[in-house]
Amino acid sequence: MNKFKLIGIVLVILVLIGVVIKLFSVSGGTSQDTSKADTSSVKELHKLPQRKRLTAPSDITILNKPATTSQFLPGATFTQVDSNFHSQTEQLLLSKAVGYLNVFIDGWGTDNPEPSPGQYVWDTLDERVNVMRHIRDLSGGSTKFMISLCCAPDWMKSDSDINTAPNPQNFADFAQLARQVALRYPDVKYFQVWNELKGFEDNPSEYTHMYNAVYDAIKSARQDAQVGGPYVSLAPSNIPDTITSQWLTTKHGGDLIVVDGGFDSSSSATDFSNARFYSDYGKWLRQQSHGGATLPFGWAEWYPGTVHLWGANQFNATMANAMIYTLQGGASYALMWGLEGGINGVYMAGDGQQLGLINHNQPTLWYQTVKDFYDYFGPGTPILTAKFRSNIPVTVLASARKTMLVNQRDYKQTLTINGYQFSLNPFQVLFMDTPV
C-alpha cells in the first residue's frame, strides 16, 4: 500500500513539474527573454499594419519622385534652466535624437570667460563642452558641436547689459577672445557669431565689421573651423531678408548662414499654416548670390508660434509640422531653445517651445518625434513628392522607407494614401512605413 502511495506521489510531482515547465516556456523563461519580446513589440509599432488596398482615388498620393534631399538634423542649445544635463540618462537620450548641440560663451548659463583683459576663466564653458563631448561619444561620434560667440565681457562694452554690443574699438579684443575659444576647443567645428544682432539692430553694417574681425581671427588659428553669421532674428515679414543679403556681399568669408526666427499666429489653424515661413525663407535664400544659393544654413533659434499654451499632443503636432517645413526649406539644422523647456519651464504664447525634449529623465512625446526626424529623415535622405487631391489639413513627410503624417486639426480625420485608408486622431503625429 505504501508502495502505491509513493508511486502516486511521484506521478503527481512529475505532472506538476511538466505544468511548470510549460508555463515557464510560454512566459519567456527569463527576464532577459521577456525584455527581448518587449523590444520586438516596440519595433513593430512603426510597421504598417496589414491593410486592404482600396480602388477609389487616394486623398494623398506619395510619388516615387524626390522633391528634395534632406540636409537636416534637429539640434538644441543649452540654456540656464537646463539643470539636469549631467544625468547619464539625459545624455544617452540626447545622443540618440539630437544631431547638433550648442552653447554660448557668455550668458544663458555660461559665465564670463574673460572678466579682465587677457585673464581667462573657462570653468562653465569647459563644463558644458565636456558634456557635449560625452554625448558625442555616446552617439558614436555623430553629434556635432557648436559654440555661439556671444556675448561680450563688460570691459569691452559701454555697460553691463547682455544686449550691448562691443565698442568698435574692442572688436579686435572680441575677435581675440573668439580665437582663444577656437583654440581651446579644437573638436568644436561650428561657430555662430553673436546673437540676434544684439546692439547692432540699427547698424547691421557694424555687425559685419565685427564678424569679419572674428572670422579672420578664427581662420588664422584654425582653417578647419566653420564660421557663420549674421544670426539675425526673422519673421515672415522679413522676406526678403535685407540684412543677410548685405552680410553675404560684405563678409570676408563664411562657411554657413545662420538665422533665427519664428512667427505669431492668430488661430490654432494658423499655427500650422504659418509654418510655411520656414520653407519660404529657404526658397528665397537659395535664389541669392554670394553664397546664398550654396552655403549650408541653419536656424540658431527656432520658434513656431502659438496663440495659447498647447496640450502635449497639439504641441507635438505643431512642432512636427514646423520641422517638416524647415527640412523642406533646405536647412541643415534647427536649434531648439533648451533641452528641458523654457525659461520658466514653459514658453508662453508666441514664444516657441512649451515643452522640452526631456522631463525628469523621461523622453517627452516631442522627443520621440524629434528622434524620428533624426533616425529616418537625416542628411542625404531623398524626400518624396506628396500630391493632394484636395485641401486636406494634414502635413506629409515621406521617404522611400518611412512616412510622417501630422493631423493639423483637433478632430479625427480619415483619409486614403496610395490606396490605403488611415485614421488620424486629433493632433496625432503618425509615423509608419511608407505605403506602396
* Packed helices 204-221 and 242-250: angle between N→C axes, nearest 10 degrees: 40
Instruction: Specify the pLDDT at position 23.
Output: 35
Instruction: Specify the pLDDT at position 81.
Output: 77
Higher pLDDT, 11 or 287: 287
Report the alpha-carbon distance of residue 188 to residue 181 in Å, rounded: 9
Higher pLDDT, 21 or 190: 190
pLDDT band for position 265 (cuts 50, 70, 90):
confident
Q: Is the pLDDT of residue 133 over 50?
A: yes
Q: Is the pLDDT of residue 4 over 50?
A: no
Instruction: Specify the pLDDT at position 3.
Output: 47
- 78 and 166 in a single domain? The answer is yes
Q: Is the pLDDT of residue 174 over 50?
A: yes
- 291 and 394 in a single domain? The answer is no
- Determine contact, residues 312/52, Cβ cutoff 8 Å: no
321 in any annotated domain: yes
Report the alpha-carbon distance of residue 87 to residue 43 in Å, rounded: 26
CB count, 10 Å around CB of 56?
A: 8
The pair phi, psi for residue 144, each rounded to 5°, is -100, 140
390 in any annotated domain: yes
Instruction: Specify the pLDDT at position 29.
Output: 31
Mean pLDDT within 298-305 = 91
Mean pLDDT within 71-93 = 92
pLDDT band for position 48 (cuts 50, 70, 90):
low
Could you tell me what percent of the chain has a pLDDT over 70? 84
Contacts of 312 (CB under 8 A, 6+ apart): 355, 364, 365, 366
33 in any annotated domain: no
- 337 and 406 in a single domain? The answer is no
Higher pLDDT, 334 or 341: 334
24 in any annotated domain: no
CA–CA distance from 277 to each of 34, 193, 303 (Å)?
A: 47, 23, 11
Report helix, strand or coil for 147.
strand
Q: Is the pLDDT of residue 17 over 50?
A: no
Residue whose C-alpha cell reads 545624455 in the numeric block:
91
- 162 and 297 in a single domain? The answer is yes
Helix and strand tally (H, E) in the chain?
11, 17
Segment holding 218, helix H or strand E: helix 204-221
Minimum mean pLDDT among 89-93, 216-220, 352-356, 400-404: which range?
Answer: 352-356
251 in any annotated domain: yes
- Determine contact, residues 165/206, Cβ cutoff 8 Å: yes
Report the alpha-carbon distance of residue 304 to residue 351 in Å, rounded: 7
- 187 and 253 in a single domain? The answer is yes
Instruction: Specify the pLDDT at position 49.
Output: 54
Q: Is the pLDDT of residue 66 over 90?
A: yes
Report the alpha-carbon distance of residue 402 to residue 436 in Å, rounded: 11
- 101 and 241 in a single domain? The answer is yes
Q: CA-CA-CA-CA torsion for 78, 145, 398, 269, nearest 10 degrees?
A: 30
Distance, CA of 288 to chain centre: 26
Instruction: Specify the pLDDT at position 353.
Output: 53
Instruction: Specify the pLDDT at position 140.
Output: 98
429 in any annotated domain: yes
Instruction: Specify the pLDDT at position 165.
Output: 98
Minimum mean pLDDT among 55-59, 94-98, 168-172, 349-353: which range?
Answer: 349-353
Higher pLDDT, 263 or 137: 137
As a whole number, the mean pLDDT across the chain is 88
Higher pLDDT, 239 or 25: 239
Residue 89: give its domain's CATH number: 3.20.20.80
- Per the rule left: phi > 0, alpha: psi between -120 and 50, beta: everything else, 116 is beta
pLDDT band for position 30 (cuts 50, 70, 90):
very low
Report helix, strand or coil for 181.
helix
Instruction: Specify the pLDDT at position 312.
Output: 87
Mean pLDDT within 215-235 = 98
121 in any annotated domain: yes
Instruction: Specify the pLDDT at position 349.
Output: 44
Longest dimension (CA), the chain: 111
Residue whose C-alpha cell reads 514646423 in the numeric block:
322
- Determine contact, residues 81/107, Cβ cutoff 8 Å: no
Last residue of a domain, one of 362, 379, 396: 379
Instruction: Specify the pLDDT at position 322.
Output: 96
Report the alpha-carbon distance of residue 238 to residue 341 in Å, rounded: 27
178 in any annotated domain: yes
CA–CA distance from 182 to each of 109, 331, 403 (Å)?
A: 19, 24, 40
- 211 and 278 in a single domain? The answer is yes
What total number of domains does the chain contain? Answer: 2
Contacts of 89 (CB under 8 A, 6+ apart): 361
- 315 and 184 in a single domain? The answer is yes
Q: What is the DSSP letter of 315?
A: H
Q: Is the pLDDT of residue 47 over 60?
A: no
The pair phi, psi for residue 415, each rounded to 5°, is -150, 165
CB count, 10 Å around CB of 344?
A: 8
- 189 and 249 in a single domain? The answer is yes
Residue 21, classified by CB atoms within 10 Å of its CB into exposed (0-12), middle (13-18) or buried (19+), is exposed
Higher pLDDT, 111 or 37: 111
- The tens digit of pLDDT for each residue in 366-424 reads 999 999 999 999 999 999 999 999 999 999 999 999 999 999 999 999 999 999 999 99
Query: Is the peptide bond preceding residue 240 cis, with omega within 30 degrees of 0?
Result: yes
Mean pLDDT within 60-65 = 97
Q: Which residue range forms the structural domain that includes residue 412?
A: 45-62+385-433
Last residue of a domain, one of 340, 355, 379: 379
Query: Is the peptide bond preceding residue 151 cis, with omega within 30 degrees of 0?
Result: yes
Instruction: Specify the pLDDT at position 83.
Output: 79
Segment holding 349, helix H or strand E: none
Residue 37, classified by CB atoms within 10 Å of its CB into exposed (0-12), middle (13-18) or buried (19+), is exposed
pLDDT band for position 211 (cuts 50, 70, 90):
very high
- 344 and 317 in a single domain? The answer is yes
CB count, 10 Å around CB of 369?
A: 23
- 224 and 248 in a single domain? The answer is yes
Last residue of a domain, one of 364, 379, 394: 379
Minimum mean pLDDT among 204-208, 219-223, 287-291, 357-361: which range?
Answer: 357-361
Over the Cα atoms of the chain, what is R_g? Answer: 26
Report the alpha-carbon distance of residue 420 to residue 241 in Å, rounded: 42
Q: What is the DSSP letter of 357?
A: S
Quick one: cell of 9? Answer: 506521489
- 373 and 389 in a single domain? The answer is no
pLDDT band for position 341 (cuts 50, 70, 90):
low
